[in-house]
Amino acid sequence: MDSYPNLRGDYSQMATDYTIAQDWARYTEEEHARWRMLYARQAKLLKRFAAQEFIDGTATLDAGDGIPDLEIASARLSRATGWRLVAVPGLIPETDFFAHLARRQFPVTNWIRKADEIDYLVEPDIFHDFFGHVPLLFNPVFADYMQLYGEKGAEAEKLGTSKILVRLYWYMVEFGLIRTDGGLKAYGAGMLSSAAETRFSIEDKSPNRLRFDLKRVMRTSYKIDDFQETYFVLDSFDELFEATRRDFAPLYELTQRQPEITPDRIVAGDRVITLGDGSWKQRRDQAA
Ligand code: HBI
Ligand code: FE
Protein backbone atom coordinates (compact mmCIF):
# COMPACT_ATOMS: atom_id res chain seq x y z
CA MET A 1 0.00 0.00 0.00
CA ASP A 2 2.93 2.37 -0.51
CA SER A 3 0.81 4.38 -2.93
CA TYR A 4 -1.67 5.12 -0.16
CA PRO A 5 0.39 6.56 2.69
CA ASN A 6 -1.19 7.10 6.15
CA LEU A 7 -4.63 5.72 5.30
CA ARG A 8 -6.41 4.64 8.43
CA GLY A 9 -7.76 1.23 7.42
CA ASP A 10 -6.01 -2.05 8.24
CA TYR A 11 -4.63 -3.19 4.88
CA SER A 12 -2.58 -6.01 6.36
CA GLN A 13 -5.17 -8.83 6.00
CA MET A 14 -6.57 -8.09 2.55
CA ALA A 15 -6.74 -10.38 -0.47
CA THR A 16 -4.94 -9.55 -3.72
CA ASP A 17 -8.10 -7.77 -4.95
CA TYR A 18 -8.03 -5.57 -1.79
CA THR A 19 -11.07 -7.27 -0.25
CA ILE A 20 -11.22 -8.29 3.41
CA ALA A 21 -13.73 -10.07 5.64
CA GLN A 22 -16.16 -7.51 7.12
CA ASP A 23 -16.23 -9.35 10.47
CA TRP A 24 -19.60 -7.80 11.31
CA ALA A 25 -19.56 -9.21 14.86
CA ARG A 26 -16.69 -6.96 15.91
CA TYR A 27 -18.58 -3.64 15.62
CA THR A 28 -19.25 -2.15 19.07
CA GLU A 29 -22.65 -1.01 20.34
CA GLU A 30 -21.26 2.53 20.29
CA GLU A 31 -20.43 2.19 16.58
CA HIS A 32 -23.92 0.85 15.83
CA ALA A 33 -25.40 3.79 17.72
CA ARG A 34 -23.25 6.19 15.65
CA TRP A 35 -24.56 4.52 12.48
CA ARG A 36 -28.18 4.89 13.72
CA MET A 37 -27.61 8.59 14.45
CA LEU A 38 -26.06 9.25 11.01
CA TYR A 39 -28.78 7.22 9.32
CA ALA A 40 -31.70 8.92 11.12
CA ARG A 41 -30.30 12.38 10.36
CA GLN A 42 -29.85 11.62 6.68
CA ALA A 43 -33.07 9.62 6.19
CA LYS A 44 -35.08 12.67 7.34
CA LEU A 45 -33.78 14.65 4.35
CA LEU A 46 -34.51 12.10 1.63
CA LYS A 47 -38.18 12.80 1.02
CA ARG A 48 -37.51 16.46 0.27
CA PHE A 49 -34.09 16.31 -1.40
CA ALA A 50 -33.42 12.83 -2.85
CA ALA A 51 -34.38 11.23 -6.16
CA GLN A 52 -37.22 8.68 -5.81
CA GLU A 53 -34.95 5.88 -7.08
CA PHE A 54 -32.57 6.60 -4.19
CA ILE A 55 -35.43 6.62 -1.67
CA ASP A 56 -36.71 3.29 -3.04
CA GLY A 57 -33.26 1.64 -2.79
CA THR A 58 -32.83 2.94 0.76
CA ALA A 59 -36.23 1.52 1.73
CA THR A 60 -35.36 -1.90 0.28
CA LEU A 61 -32.08 -1.96 2.20
CA ASP A 62 -33.83 -0.97 5.43
CA ALA A 63 -30.46 -0.54 7.20
CA GLY A 64 -31.44 1.93 9.93
CA ASP A 65 -30.99 -0.38 12.91
CA GLY A 66 -27.22 -0.51 12.90
CA ILE A 67 -24.12 -1.06 10.78
CA PRO A 68 -25.32 -3.41 8.00
CA ASP A 69 -24.01 -6.93 7.47
CA LEU A 70 -22.75 -6.75 3.88
CA GLU A 71 -23.55 -10.43 3.25
CA ILE A 72 -27.23 -9.83 4.03
CA ALA A 73 -27.41 -6.63 1.98
CA SER A 74 -25.56 -8.36 -0.89
CA ALA A 75 -28.13 -11.15 -1.03
CA ARG A 76 -30.91 -8.57 -1.36
CA LEU A 77 -28.99 -6.51 -3.93
CA SER A 78 -27.88 -9.41 -6.11
CA ARG A 79 -31.50 -10.56 -6.40
CA ALA A 80 -32.39 -7.10 -7.72
CA THR A 81 -29.55 -6.24 -10.15
CA GLY A 82 -26.81 -8.86 -9.78
CA TRP A 83 -24.54 -6.48 -7.85
CA ARG A 84 -22.69 -7.69 -4.76
CA LEU A 85 -20.93 -5.77 -1.97
CA VAL A 86 -17.35 -6.52 -0.94
CA ALA A 87 -15.65 -5.19 2.20
CA VAL A 88 -12.41 -3.24 1.75
CA PRO A 89 -10.12 -1.53 4.34
CA GLY A 90 -10.74 1.93 2.82
CA LEU A 91 -9.63 3.71 -0.36
CA ILE A 92 -8.12 1.28 -2.85
CA PRO A 93 -6.14 1.98 -6.03
CA GLU A 94 -8.25 3.10 -8.98
CA THR A 95 -7.28 0.06 -11.06
CA ASP A 96 -8.73 -2.26 -8.45
CA PHE A 97 -11.73 -0.06 -7.82
CA PHE A 98 -12.61 0.03 -11.52
CA ALA A 99 -12.06 -3.75 -11.76
CA HIS A 100 -14.55 -4.41 -8.94
CA LEU A 101 -17.19 -2.21 -10.61
CA ALA A 102 -16.62 -4.01 -13.92
CA ARG A 103 -17.50 -7.25 -12.09
CA ARG A 104 -20.65 -5.70 -10.53
CA GLN A 105 -18.99 -5.64 -7.14
CA PHE A 106 -19.12 -2.47 -5.04
CA PRO A 107 -16.26 -1.96 -2.54
CA VAL A 108 -17.56 -0.88 0.88
CA THR A 109 -15.16 0.39 3.52
CA ASN A 110 -15.43 -1.71 6.69
CA TRP A 111 -14.91 1.02 9.36
CA ILE A 112 -17.18 3.84 10.51
CA ARG A 113 -16.12 7.47 11.15
CA LYS A 114 -15.25 8.59 14.69
CA ALA A 115 -17.62 10.59 16.86
CA ASP A 116 -15.70 13.82 16.12
CA GLU A 117 -15.96 13.23 12.35
CA ILE A 118 -19.74 13.10 12.17
CA ASP A 119 -19.99 16.06 9.83
CA TYR A 120 -16.91 15.63 7.74
CA LEU A 121 -14.17 13.16 6.98
CA VAL A 122 -11.76 12.95 4.08
CA GLU A 123 -11.80 9.20 3.32
CA PRO A 124 -15.06 7.36 2.57
CA ASP A 125 -16.26 5.30 5.56
CA ILE A 126 -18.97 2.60 5.61
CA PHE A 127 -21.69 5.22 6.00
CA HIS A 128 -20.62 7.10 2.87
CA ASP A 129 -20.14 3.93 0.83
CA PHE A 130 -23.23 2.05 2.00
CA PHE A 131 -25.77 4.80 2.63
CA GLY A 132 -24.50 6.92 -0.27
CA HIS A 133 -23.67 4.43 -3.01
CA VAL A 134 -25.65 1.20 -2.48
CA PRO A 135 -29.30 2.37 -2.84
CA LEU A 136 -28.93 3.31 -6.52
CA LEU A 137 -27.39 -0.06 -7.35
CA PHE A 138 -30.96 -1.34 -7.02
CA ASN A 139 -31.90 0.80 -10.03
CA PRO A 140 -31.32 -1.32 -13.17
CA VAL A 141 -30.17 1.57 -15.39
CA PHE A 142 -27.81 3.06 -12.80
CA ALA A 143 -26.54 -0.44 -11.95
CA ASP A 144 -25.64 -1.01 -15.63
CA TYR A 145 -24.04 2.46 -15.85
CA MET A 146 -21.78 1.70 -12.87
CA GLN A 147 -20.58 -1.56 -14.45
CA LEU A 148 -19.96 0.23 -17.76
CA TYR A 149 -18.05 2.93 -15.89
CA GLY A 150 -15.88 0.21 -14.34
CA GLU A 151 -15.18 -1.30 -17.77
CA LYS A 152 -14.14 2.13 -19.06
CA GLY A 153 -11.62 2.21 -16.23
CA ALA A 154 -9.34 -0.39 -17.79
CA GLU A 155 -9.42 1.46 -21.15
CA ALA A 156 -8.69 4.81 -19.47
CA GLU A 157 -5.71 3.32 -17.63
CA LYS A 158 -4.29 2.12 -20.97
CA LEU A 159 -4.86 5.54 -22.57
CA GLY A 160 -3.48 7.39 -19.55
CA THR A 161 -6.76 9.28 -19.21
CA SER A 162 -8.04 8.02 -15.83
CA LYS A 163 -7.98 11.60 -14.51
CA ILE A 164 -10.64 12.53 -17.11
CA LEU A 165 -12.79 9.46 -16.39
CA VAL A 166 -12.60 10.08 -12.64
CA ARG A 167 -14.18 13.53 -13.22
CA LEU A 168 -17.25 11.76 -14.63
CA TYR A 169 -17.46 9.63 -11.49
CA TRP A 170 -16.91 12.63 -9.25
CA TYR A 171 -19.60 14.82 -10.81
CA MET A 172 -22.12 12.19 -11.88
CA VAL A 173 -21.81 9.46 -9.21
CA GLU A 174 -20.68 11.43 -6.16
CA PHE A 175 -22.41 14.79 -6.78
CA GLY A 176 -25.10 14.33 -9.42
CA LEU A 177 -28.49 16.07 -9.53
CA ILE A 178 -31.47 14.94 -11.58
CA ARG A 179 -34.43 16.92 -12.91
CA THR A 180 -37.86 15.55 -11.92
CA ASP A 181 -41.48 16.74 -12.04
CA GLY A 182 -40.92 17.67 -8.40
CA GLY A 183 -37.92 19.86 -9.26
CA LEU A 184 -34.20 19.18 -8.86
CA LYS A 185 -33.32 16.16 -6.71
CA ALA A 186 -29.98 14.87 -5.43
CA TYR A 187 -28.82 11.34 -6.23
CA GLY A 188 -25.04 11.59 -5.71
CA ALA A 189 -23.45 9.56 -2.90
CA GLY A 190 -21.16 12.39 -1.80
CA MET A 191 -24.07 14.75 -1.16
CA LEU A 192 -26.64 12.23 0.13
CA SER A 193 -24.21 10.93 2.77
CA SER A 194 -23.68 14.52 3.98
CA ALA A 195 -26.52 16.45 5.63
CA ALA A 196 -24.93 19.80 4.85
CA GLU A 197 -24.18 19.11 1.19
CA THR A 198 -27.61 17.54 0.58
CA ARG A 199 -29.25 20.83 1.47
CA PHE A 200 -26.52 22.96 -0.14
CA SER A 201 -26.71 21.19 -3.50
CA ILE A 202 -30.45 21.82 -3.84
CA GLU A 203 -31.19 24.99 -1.91
CA ASP A 204 -28.07 27.17 -1.79
CA LYS A 205 -27.73 30.17 -4.11
CA SER A 206 -23.96 29.79 -4.37
CA PRO A 207 -23.34 26.89 -6.79
CA ASN A 208 -23.92 26.80 -10.53
CA ARG A 209 -26.25 24.05 -11.71
CA LEU A 210 -25.67 23.10 -15.34
CA ARG A 211 -27.37 20.64 -17.64
CA PHE A 212 -25.28 17.45 -17.93
CA ASP A 213 -22.97 17.44 -20.95
CA LEU A 214 -20.41 14.62 -21.20
CA LYS A 215 -17.63 16.66 -22.84
CA ARG A 216 -18.15 19.54 -20.40
CA VAL A 217 -17.88 17.25 -17.36
CA MET A 218 -14.72 15.67 -18.79
CA ARG A 219 -13.09 19.12 -18.91
CA THR A 220 -14.15 20.23 -15.44
CA SER A 221 -11.76 19.89 -12.51
CA TYR A 222 -12.93 19.59 -8.91
CA LYS A 223 -11.76 20.04 -5.32
CA ILE A 224 -12.20 17.21 -2.81
CA ASP A 225 -12.35 19.20 0.41
CA ASP A 226 -15.36 21.51 0.13
CA PHE A 227 -18.87 21.75 -1.34
CA GLN A 228 -19.03 21.72 -5.14
CA GLU A 229 -19.09 25.06 -6.98
CA THR A 230 -20.85 23.44 -9.93
CA TYR A 231 -23.36 20.58 -10.04
CA PHE A 232 -24.44 18.85 -13.25
CA VAL A 233 -28.07 17.93 -13.77
CA LEU A 234 -29.36 14.83 -15.57
CA ASP A 235 -32.77 14.51 -17.19
CA SER A 236 -32.68 10.75 -16.49
CA PHE A 237 -30.30 7.93 -15.57
CA ASP A 238 -30.79 6.67 -19.14
CA GLU A 239 -29.10 9.85 -20.31
CA LEU A 240 -26.01 9.05 -18.22
CA PHE A 241 -25.98 5.41 -19.35
CA GLU A 242 -26.34 6.34 -23.05
CA ALA A 243 -23.60 8.96 -22.78
CA THR A 244 -21.27 6.41 -21.18
CA ARG A 245 -21.88 3.89 -23.97
CA ARG A 246 -20.09 6.22 -26.38
CA ASP A 247 -16.50 5.57 -27.46
CA PHE A 248 -14.51 7.74 -25.04
CA ALA A 249 -11.18 7.60 -26.92
CA PRO A 250 -11.97 10.53 -29.27
CA LEU A 251 -13.52 12.43 -26.33
CA TYR A 252 -10.35 12.00 -24.29
CA GLU A 253 -8.33 13.31 -27.27
CA LEU A 254 -10.59 16.35 -27.56
CA THR A 255 -10.50 17.00 -23.81
CA GLN A 256 -6.71 16.85 -23.74
CA ARG A 257 -6.52 19.51 -26.48
CA GLN A 258 -8.74 21.94 -24.60
CA PRO A 259 -7.98 23.94 -21.45
CA GLU A 260 -9.36 22.55 -18.18
CA ILE A 261 -12.41 24.37 -16.78
CA THR A 262 -12.21 25.21 -13.08
CA PRO A 263 -15.40 24.41 -11.11
CA ASP A 264 -16.26 28.08 -10.44
CA ARG A 265 -16.55 29.00 -14.13
CA ILE A 266 -19.33 29.19 -16.69
CA VAL A 267 -18.26 28.85 -20.34
CA ALA A 268 -19.92 29.47 -23.71
CA GLY A 269 -22.30 26.65 -24.56
CA ASP A 270 -23.19 25.85 -20.93
CA ARG A 271 -26.93 25.24 -20.48
CA VAL A 272 -27.35 27.04 -17.17
CA ILE A 273 -30.21 25.89 -14.96
CA THR A 274 -29.27 28.10 -12.00
CA LEU A 275 -26.40 30.57 -12.10
CA GLY A 276 -24.66 30.61 -8.72
CA ASP A 277 -23.51 33.76 -6.95
CA GLY A 278 -20.44 32.01 -5.53
CA SER A 279 -21.22 33.40 -2.08
CA TRP A 280 -20.42 30.17 -0.20
CA LYS A 281 -16.69 30.86 0.07
CA GLN A 282 -16.97 34.18 1.88
CA ARG A 283 -19.84 32.85 4.06
CA ARG A 284 -17.64 29.88 4.99
CA ASP A 285 -14.63 32.13 5.75
CA GLN A 286 -16.73 34.55 7.82
CA ALA A 287 -18.18 31.66 9.80
CA ALA A 288 -14.68 30.29 10.47
N1 HBI B 1 -11.57 3.21 -3.27
N2 HBI B 1 -12.63 2.07 -1.52
C3 HBI B 1 -12.69 3.00 -2.51
N4 HBI B 1 -13.83 3.69 -2.71
C5 HBI B 1 -13.93 4.61 -3.69
O6 HBI B 1 -14.99 5.22 -3.87
C7 HBI B 1 -12.81 4.84 -4.53
C8 HBI B 1 -11.63 4.12 -4.29
N9 HBI B 1 -10.55 4.34 -5.05
C10 HBI B 1 -10.55 5.26 -6.16
C11 HBI B 1 -11.84 5.99 -6.31
N12 HBI B 1 -12.89 5.76 -5.55
C13 HBI B 1 -12.02 7.04 -7.37
O14 HBI B 1 -10.80 7.49 -7.88
C15 HBI B 1 -12.91 6.53 -8.50
O16 HBI B 1 -13.27 7.61 -9.32
C17 HBI B 1 -12.18 5.55 -9.32
FE1 FE C 1 -17.95 7.58 -2.95
Q: Is 259 among the domain residues?
A: yes
Whether 3 has a pLDDT exceeding 50, the answer reads: no
What CATH number is associated with residue 130?
1.10.800.10
Q: What is the pLDDT of residue 233?
A: 99
Supply the pLDDT for residue 2: 44
pLDDT tens digits, 131-168? 999 999 999 999 999 999 999 999 999 999 999 999 99
pLDDT band at residue 128 under the 50/70/90 scheme: very high
Asked if the structure places residue 209 within a domain, the reply is: yes
pTM of the shown model: 0.96
Centre of ligand 1 from the C-alpha of residue 91, in Å: 6
Question: Does 278 have pLDDT greater than 60?
Answer: yes
CB 255 within 8 A of CB 218: yes
100 included as an active-site residue: no
* pLDDT value, residue 4: 54
Q: Please report the pLDDT score of residue 162 as a whole number.
A: 98
As a whole number, mean pLDDT of residues 220-236 equals: 96
For residue 239, being part of any structural domain is answered with yes
In a domain, 7, yes or no: no
DSSP code string of the chain? -TTSTT-SS--TT--TTS-B---GGG--HHHHHHHHHHHHHHHHHHHHHB-HHHHHHHHHH--TTSS--HHHHHHHHHHHHS-EEEEESS---HHHHHHHHHTTEEEEES----GGGSS--SS--HIIIIIIISGGGGSHHHHHHHHHHHHHHHHHHHHT-HHHHHHHHIIIIIS-EEEETTEEEE--HHHHT-HHHHHHHHH-SSSEEEE--HHHHHHB---SSS--SEEEEES-HHHHHHHHTS--HHHHHHHHHS--B-TT---TT--EEE----THHHHHHHH-
Q: pLDDT tens for residues 54-67?
A: 999 999 999 999 99
- Residue 68 belongs to some domain of the structure: yes
Among this protein's residues, is 128 annotated catalytic? yes
Q: Is the pLDDT of residue 110 over 50?
A: yes
pLDDT at 5: 59
Which atom of ligand 1 approaches the CA of 173 most closely?
A: 16
Listed residue (108, 86, 97) closest to 150, CA to CA: 97
pLDDT value at residue 33: 98
133 assigned to active site: yes
Full residue range of the structural domain in which residue 194 is found: 24-287
**11 found inside a domain:** no
> Is residue 232 scored above 50 in pLDDT?
yes
Q: Give domain status of residue 8, yes or no.
A: no
Q: How many separate domains does the chain show?
A: 1
Active-site residue, selected from the candidate residues 31, 53, 74, 128:
128
Average pLDDT over residues 26-38: 98
Residue 110, domain member (yes or no): yes
Mean pLDDT, the chain, as a whole number? Answer: 96
Ligand 1: which of 88, 91, 129 to mutate, judged by most atoms within 8 Å of the beta carbon?
91
Separation of CA 287 and ligand 1 centre (Å): 31
Q: Is 193 a residue of the active site? A: yes
Q: Report how far ligand 1's centroid is from the alpha carbon of 97 (Å).
A: 6
